[in-house]
Chain A
Amino acid sequence: MAGFKEFNIRWSMVVDIDKCTGCGACMTACNKENNIAPQEEAKTRLESKGFPTRFKKIEWLTIYELSNGKQGGDHDTAFLPRPCMQCGLPSCVSVCPAIATDKNEEGGIVSQIYPRCFGCRYCMASCPYHARVFNWDQPIFPEGMEKQLTPNVSVRSRGVVEKCNFCHHRMMYAKDAARVAGEDPEKLADGAYMPACAEACPTGAISFGDVKNPEHAVHELIKSPNAFRLLERLGTDPQVYYVSTRDWVRKQGDNYLESEGGVAGGNNGGAHHG
């Protein structure tokens, strides 16, 4: 059964959870690359204010800390970075009244067009991954920091929703470079287009590429029996895959009960829709 739309290219991220140290270099790189205004309150998460204002924190990539819940020597921890899943069947796209978000571009990255969004936040309600954030306040750049804005993305205003877009601007830059070099922009080499988080990660936990292109490393990585996706049984068909040799990590990927023996690992085996 096909996903929302089948494209010839399917940009996917593969995160090796066993290599993520939780250092936060990916989050810092993402924030800078995408002109996210630094928030002083982000560090305190505003919990004292009652309202679940931890969601006021603008970040496109969140790192979750997982635990196997055991005590003593059997205890284990893992970190899981969660960007936007760029779902094959995006629930956010299906609910947007303004078509501010859509999945219609070759490559499958779900677009988010800021001027078109009027901030109803229906998409935030529908996203099962909490991947979308809302600009509750006008983003303020400390004096002088507006000189350090990158050309990559526009600055969002108060009242619009934003989310990770796999550093789509880098894909545009890579395609332009290919065009100028006389190469095919629809056949980018492995590594020609890498989001900021994948580039920054010191332990190389994040791999990125086109899973439909056999020359890209991720093409093989997702076939691993240790590969899984978050909340697969919802049928969202995410384009972000996770790999872990640890059973308990894979089980947490879709809230498997203890009684459910088999784990999703190998279930997707490259197929794009459950």
Chain B
Amino acid sequence: MNRRTFLTFSAGATAGLMITPIPWKLTDDASIWTQNWQWNPKVPKRAIYFAEMASKLDPSGSGVKIAVVNGNAVGVAGNVDHPLGKGAVSTMAAAEVGLLHSPARVRQPMLKTQTGFKTISWEEAETILTGKLTEARGDVAMVSGDDTGSANEIFAALVNGLHGSYYMMPGETQSAHKALELMGSEGRIAYDIENADYVLFLGADALESSGTSVRNARVFSETHPTGKAATAKYVYAGPVMNNTAVVCDQWIQAKPGAAATVALGLSRILMENGASADAKGFASFKQDVAQGYAPAHVERETGVRADVLQKIARELAAAKRPLVIAGSEFGQGAGARALMASLGLNMLLGQMGQSVKIVPGAPAVVKGSGSESERYAADVVPFLKGVAEGRVNASVLMVYDANPAYGLPQAEAMARAMDKAAFTVSFSSFMDETAERANLIMPNSMTAERYDDLYTPYGAGCATYSVNKPLVKSAFNTRTIADVMLSVASRLGMDLGYASFKDVLKAKSVALGASWGSLRQGKAWTSASTSGAKLNLAVCATPAVGAFAQGSLALAPVVKHHLGTATIAMPPHSAGTVRTSELDGVQSVVQMNAKTARMSGVKAGETVKLVGPGGEMTAKVHVSEKVMTGVVAASLGFGHTAWDGFSKGVGENAFKLLAAADDPETGLSVWSANRVTIATA
């Protein structure tokens, strides 16, 4: 073999190669290979199986359908049959699937040690918790943010059995319980928005974040059909043109926290024109209102002009089925007054039992759990403040479905309370600000992974009940905390009467007279029954606590669910929805109108420092006419220091600015009328 022979051999081989399939095959394969890169994840083949589920992450309780492919939850679709979902999918309902594999999820129980968190087994976690609860002897406190679930009964029964204290996170549900209690009744407030022809929202961001916002939005859609005349008028009164106001037929500018005053001002005008209510305490209510809420006074306090007030009163009186929904602009901090004032107004309009109904609370099925009202009676804000300042002792502090270290006024103090409590336990599914500070994390499975239920969220149309069952296998080593606590209770020697949470749910459905089989299939149960209780109007007109703190500007915190809620941070798929009017790079943005900017000596784009009664924050200024004069608006949902890259490390937490003031008359502290100072930073 010499070189020439070799070359001839190669020439022959090349000629032969051309008539074998090799070059053509390889080219063809390369075309497949380069169009379908192996490192891109492959998508599953369908079939898609849809299963009903009521969202627990969405405060409006909307029912949706989870799309499952090969045992994985891949998407969320609408459920037109669910009375609170009506086919829509809000950002928070979408997060039920979007957060399942969030990097922030806690994957197994964790115990805090000197060097950080270490993973432990569920067996160990239960043992540790049982031990701590036994030692605590009455110094046990539990904070729950679940306004609709029966899990609370298990927790309350356990805490009551230990002579501890139970707290529900502040919000509209707590305000509603308090309002009804003060007015001599109990149960849950229901709004029949479907049949209302004139709806006045006083502060309450009812199409975005307040009450059954998804259902409200669907009803808004039905009453405002595209291309046809609207069949109802929706009016929003508040300081900011938020997501509700931007589509309402009219936006009335009213200062933050003004809902109660406006409602009483309207009541006065109606009563002057002869309206009355067949209720206890009407006489004293009429007198208080006449004295304290003249239009001129209302204008001074709230910024709502007298002639505008008169016009609204006329429109309300003329409507066939008016409905007034009042509350805090950001879902917490209005105490009970706004609601009481609006109930009084609704009564004057003859809408008690029509547009506004009182429906029975959920029947208790766990022995020793106490009543709903009892669970809502205590105010968690002064309690945590006390813990933070060392005045109040908390040997064991348990937190369920809530993030008090982030989403409460004086957020920094609340976070300190988590540290100060001797032993903090977080049941969060996520490594949130509270879990980061906890001593023990026992992660709850997510909604699609566990049994749970949902009874009549605040503002629903009637008594509504849904049951969820696990739709997918738990992604991580998490459990249903309700089941875990039943186990802990029995370790503590308490017999709560149930072997599993599922049995509690069955008992609940029996107590309600609902069909368990139907509930298990994802159908919602509704009942038109109402409680015929008579409300006492006397308390509705007592004067509100004044605005908190000095400051040239009133602070209007704004909630938009695409930025998350007070409990859940912005879900990954919503990260792109942030607007430059809310966040600039990594800096928070606050909004004020041109006049306010001039008055405050700041310019658009400048960095300013806001100092509120609870703390301070820096932000850039965005000039927008969507904010009332004299008000600065700040978005809630930024400033996360925990969670994951999708929400962490951008902006500042506006909850820091807020501080709660006591309101001894109602027993609920208030923080919806805070003021701030502003200066260029």
Residues in chain A within 8 A of chain B (CB atoms): 14, 16, 18-25, 27-29, 31-33, 35-36, 38-40, 42-45, 47-48, 57-59, 63, 65, 67, 70-73, 75, 77-79, 115, 141-157, 173, 196, 199-205, 207, 220-221, 224, 226, 243
CB distance from A198 to the nearest CB of B (A): 10
- Asked if A149 contacts B41 (CB within 8 A), the reply is yes
- 3 residue pairs, one from A and one from B, having the closest CB atoms: A204-B221, A75-B625, A144-B101
CB distance from B629 to the nearest CB of A (A): 8
Could you say which of A28, A67, A155, A220 contacts B573, with CB atoms under 8 Å apart? A28
Task: With A32-B573, A45-B578, A72-B625 given, name 8 new contacts (CB 8 A).
Answer: A24-B574, A40-B644, A40-B645, A43-B575, A43-B576, A77-B626, A144-B475, A151-B43
- Asked if B98 contacts A39 (CB within 8 A), the reply is no
Q: Whole-angstrom distance between the alpha carbons of A18 and B228 in the complex?
A: 12
Could you say which of B207, B583, B595 contacts A43, with CB atoms under 8 Å apart? B583
Whether A44 contacts B650 in the complex (CB less than 8 A), given A19-B221, A144-B475, comes out as: yes
Could you say which of B69, B89, B221, B576 contacts A25, with CB atoms under 8 Å apart? B89
| Residues of B close to A20: CB separation below 8 A | 247
- Asked if A148 contacts B100 (CB within 8 A), the reply is yes
| Residues of A close to B326: CB separation below 8 A | none
- Asked if A40 contacts B646 (CB within 8 A), the reply is yes
| Residues of A close to B77: CB separation below 8 A | 199
| Residues of B close to A152: CB separation below 8 A | 43
Whether A27 contacts B577 in the complex (CB less than 8 A), given A33-B75, A149-B43, A150-B67, comes out as: yes
CB distance from A211 to the nearest CB of B (A): 13
CB under 8 Å from chain A, chain B span 493-522: none
> Can you name 10 A-B pairs with beta carbons within 8 Å?
A19-B220, A19-B226, A22-B243, A28-B574, A43-B646, A75-B625, A115-B35, A142-B102, A151-B69, A202-B214
- Asked if B75 contacts A150 (CB within 8 A), the reply is yes
| Residues of A close to B584: CB separation below 8 A | 47
| Residues of A close to B73: CB separation below 8 A | 148
| Residues of A close to B577: CB separation below 8 A | 24, 27-28, 63
- Asked if B88 contacts A145 (CB within 8 A), the reply is no
- Asked if B227 contacts A221 (CB within 8 A), the reply is yes
Could you say which of A149, A205, A224 contacts B44, with CB atoms under 8 Å apart? A149
Could you say which of A32, A43, A59 contacts B647, with CB atoms under 8 Å apart? A43
| Residues of B close to A45: CB separation below 8 A | 578, 580, 585
CB under 8 Å from chain A, chain B span 242-275: 243-244, 246-247, 253
A154 — nearest CB in chain B belongs to which residue? B43
CB distance from A127 to the nearest CB of B (A): 19
B37 at the interface (CB under 8 A from A): yes
- Asked if A27 contacts B246 (CB within 8 A), the reply is no
B239 at the interface (CB under 8 A from A): no
Whether A39 contacts B576 in the complex (CB less than 8 A), given A24-B91, A44-B583, A148-B74, comes out as: yes
Q: Whole-angstrom distance between the alpha carbons of A63 and B103 in the complex?
A: 27
B593 at the interface (CB under 8 A from A): yes
Q: Whole-angstrom distance between the alpha carbons of A202 and B560 in the complex?
A: 14
Q: Whole-angstrom distance between the alpha carbons of A161 and B579 in the complex?
A: 24
CB distance from A96 to the nearest CB of B (A): 17
A75 — nearest CB in chain B belongs to which residue? B625
Q: Whole-angstrom distance between the alpha carbons of A44 and B650 in the complex?
A: 8
CB distance from A60 to the nearest CB of B (A): 10
| Residues of B close to A24: CB separation below 8 A | 91, 560-562, 574, 577
CB distance from A103 to the nearest CB of B (A): 22
| Residues of B close to A28: CB separation below 8 A | 91, 94-95, 98, 562, 571, 573-574, 577
Could you say which of A23, A39, A59, A72 contacts B243, with CB atoms under 8 Å apart? A23
CB distance from A70 to the nearest CB of B (A): 7
- Asked if B218 contacts A204 (CB within 8 A), the reply is yes
CB under 8 Å from chain A, chain B span 564-593: 570-581, 583-586, 593
- Asked if B72 contacts A202 (CB within 8 A), the reply is no
- Asked if B44 contacts A142 (CB within 8 A), the reply is no
B48 at the interface (CB under 8 A from A): yes
| Residues of B close to A201: CB separation below 8 A | 88
CB distance from B513 to the nearest CB of A (A): 31
- Asked if A59 contacts B227 (CB within 8 A), the reply is no
| Residues of B close to A142: CB separation below 8 A | 101-103, 572, 644
B364 at the interface (CB under 8 A from A): no
Q: Whole-angstrom distance between the alpha carbons of A237 and B517 in the complex?
A: 52
| Residues of B close to A226: CB separation below 8 A | 227
B3 at the interface (CB under 8 A from A): no
| Residues of A close to B562: CB separation below 8 A | 23-25, 27-28
Q: Whole-angstrom distance between the alpha carbons of A181 and B626 in the complex?
A: 51
CB distance from B47 to the nearest CB of A (A): 8
- Asked if B43 contacts A38 (CB within 8 A), the reply is no
- Asked if A77 contacts B576 (CB within 8 A), the reply is no
- Asked if A19 contacts B247 (CB within 8 A), the reply is yes
- Asked if A29 contacts B94 (CB within 8 A), the reply is yes
Q: Whole-angstrom distance between the alpha carbons of A224 and B624 in the complex?
A: 31
Q: Whole-angstrom distance between the alpha carbons of A156 and B95 in the complex?
A: 23
Whether A70 contacts B247 in the complex (CB less than 8 A), given A25-B88, A38-B572, A115-B35, comes out as: no
CB distance from A202 to the nearest CB of B (A): 4
Q: Whole-angstrom distance between the alpha carbons of A87 and B78 in the complex?
A: 29
CB distance from B311 to the nearest CB of A (A): 14
CB distance from A132 to the nearest CB of B (A): 16
| Residues of B close to A40: CB separation below 8 A | 575, 644-646
CB distance from A193 to the nearest CB of B (A): 13
| Residues of B close to A79: CB separation below 8 A | 246
CB distance from B644 to the nearest CB of A (A): 8
B46 at the interface (CB under 8 A from A): yes
CB distance from A121 to the nearest CB of B (A): 19
B224 at the interface (CB under 8 A from A): yes
Q: Whole-angstrom distance between the alpha carbons of A63 and B100 in the complex?
A: 26
CB under 8 Å from chain A, chain B span 45-96: 45-46, 48, 67, 69, 72-78, 87-91, 94-95
- Asked if A207 contacts B585 (CB within 8 A), the reply is no
Q: Whole-angstrom distance between the alpha carbons of A149 and B254 in the complex?
A: 46
- Asked if A151 contacts B44 (CB within 8 A), the reply is yes
- Asked if B97 contacts A32 (CB within 8 A), the reply is yes
Could you say which of A33, A65, A204 contacts B581, with CB atoms under 8 Å apart? A65
A69 — nearest CB in chain B belongs to which residue? B625
B217 at the interface (CB under 8 A from A): yes
B241 at the interface (CB under 8 A from A): yes
CB distance from B253 to the nearest CB of A (A): 8
Whether A148 contacts B72 in the complex (CB less than 8 A), given A19-B247, A207-B226, comes out as: yes
Q: Whole-angstrom distance between the alpha carbons of A45 and B475 in the complex?
A: 31
B208 at the interface (CB under 8 A from A): yes
B40 at the interface (CB under 8 A from A): yes
- Asked if A32 contacts B75 (CB within 8 A), the reply is yes
CB distance from B2 to the nearest CB of A (A): 47
| Residues of B close to A47: CB separation below 8 A | 584-585
A40 — nearest CB in chain B belongs to which residue? B645
Q: Whole-angstrom distance between the alpha carbons of A226 and B562 in the complex?
A: 29
Q: Whole-angstrom distance between the alpha carbons of A70 and B100 in the complex?
A: 44
B645 — nearest CB in chain A belongs to which residue? A40
| Residues of A close to B646: CB separation below 8 A | 38, 40, 43
- Asked if A78 contacts B573 (CB within 8 A), the reply is no
- Asked if B578 contacts A21 (CB within 8 A), the reply is no
